[in-house]
Structure 1
């Protein structure tokens, strides 16, 4: 597919989605959200990709949604193209998704980062859910994912006030895994992505399923799911390769089988 709002590159089993709407500070409209949804789906189907990175162009990750689009939306439009649905697909991606937050991540941009598995930001990155200032709420999963990430009280404060926080504060709250100098962001992101890409892909997928479900089920159900996923992994070629490599004192070559 040809994309007008995204740049897609694949290198060394890593797919990079760069959001490219610099004239709008990478603010997203219906077409760009639909493109992001399609790009994540396509990379999930590509056997040459084991890890997905999402980043932005020109010192902005995503500065939220296009305000003109929000201004013109009618109540039932939320049941057409919903940002929530796109970001749920990012969250459920069978392949790990890393957010490389290279600047402002506001509104839908903050929610996009929250939908990713790992978040790495540069020192100049900023985060916030300022939707309250427009008379609306964060409906891309922000009321749910932010609370699970930073805690209920802090999520309420950030959403009630619309305050924008620094990368340092975001890391302290658990919103960022790492903060690095601006010129080192992609080096750090690629270091982690390449490390994950060398791991067994089926096991990574099963781990993600188990961990994503952990907040939604009680301990007994979570342990039952964990056991079932482990049974699946016991049947894989990668399990045989990983254990054989360990016993033979060599590096494993995982094929995703």
Structure 2
């Protein structure tokens, strides 16, 4: 198994565990990840995922040994890396807790998550150009949307890396904390997210993602329709009743 899975209440933590290859992302890692998270994504008792690596390395990239001898036709026939979009599309919110290196596929994995909480040791980059290739797990697309064309070109065309504080300034990282606090901060944030109504949280993250896909007018219309739809849920009724009655809400995920 390339992962370690822990569950604490409504929060599931997934730790990449390939220490011999610095948590390189292989086809087996993706298979294990999806096999573990598909059923949890459907579990109404799960409210948030935390994805992390080791204190030294989140993930140093895709598994080069697995790709090095493949041909262009083999890569195209397999639609190599396409399966990672299933991970990105999981509806449960995902927090990346990043310490150490998040390079290439590791940076792309972090960007597939909804929040990135980084330790001060974190290092981000898309150095694929140094291998004669380019980002292939969404790096050219997600990085550009997150930090803008100029900065995406800077990282992708030079292959240079940036530290956690620069990544935070650019908008790649949500928060920077001490390395010793990364997992605790991520777990606490995940617990807060998981404490809210499941339907509203899922709808909100999908609406934010929609902002990157559509123009402003279409995005606002989409947001409004989803907002209207939440009035069919018990959690909406409970949340608003609790506010009016000045008590904590008791969300059920319904």
TM norm. shorter chain > 0.5: yes
Give SS of 1:83's match: coil
Q: Which residue of 2 aligns with 1:127?
A: 124
Give SS of 1:234's match: helix
1:85 aligns with 2:83: yes
Are the counterparts in 1 of residues 30 and 83 from structure 2 also a CA contact under 8 Å? no
After TM superposition, list the pairs within 5 Å mapping 1:30-41 onto structure 2: 30-41=27-38
TM (norm. structure 1) is 0.94
TM (norm. structure 2) is 0.96
1:201 aligns with 2:198: yes
Give SS of 1:238's match: helix
Mapped partners of 1:48, 1:212: distance in 2? 24
Q: Which residue of 2 aligns with 1:110?
A: 107
How far 1:89 sits from its partner (Å)?
2.4
Mapped partners of 2:37, 2:70: distance in 1? 25
Are the counterparts in 1 of residues 199 and 253 from structure 2 also a CA contact under 8 Å? yes
CA RMSD of aligned residues (A): 1.3
Mapped partners of 1:245, 1:77: distance in 2? 57
Are the counterparts in 2 of residues 61 and 105 from structure 1 also a CA contact under 8 Å? yes
How far 1:175 sits from its partner (Å)?
0.8
Mapped partners of 2:185, 2:93: distance in 1? 16
Which stretch shifts more, 123-132 or 45-54? Answer: 45-54
Which of 189, 194, 213 is residue 192 of structure 1 equivalent to? Answer: 189
How far 1:220 sits from its partner (Å)?
2.3
Q: Which residue of 1 aligns with 2:168?
A: 171
Which of 221, 237, 257 is residue 218 of structure 2 equivalent to? Answer: 221
Q: Which residue of 1 aligns with 2:50?
A: 53
Give SS of 2:92's match: coil
Mapped partners of 1:99, 1:82: distance in 2? 23
How many residue pairs were aligned?
A: 253
How far 1:165 sits from its partner (Å)?
1.2
Q: Which residue of 2 aligns with 1:143?
A: 140
Q: Which runs of 5+ in 2 are unaligned?
A: none
Which stretch shifts more, 72-81 or 158-167? Answer: 72-81
Q: Which residue of 2 aligns with 1:18?
A: 15
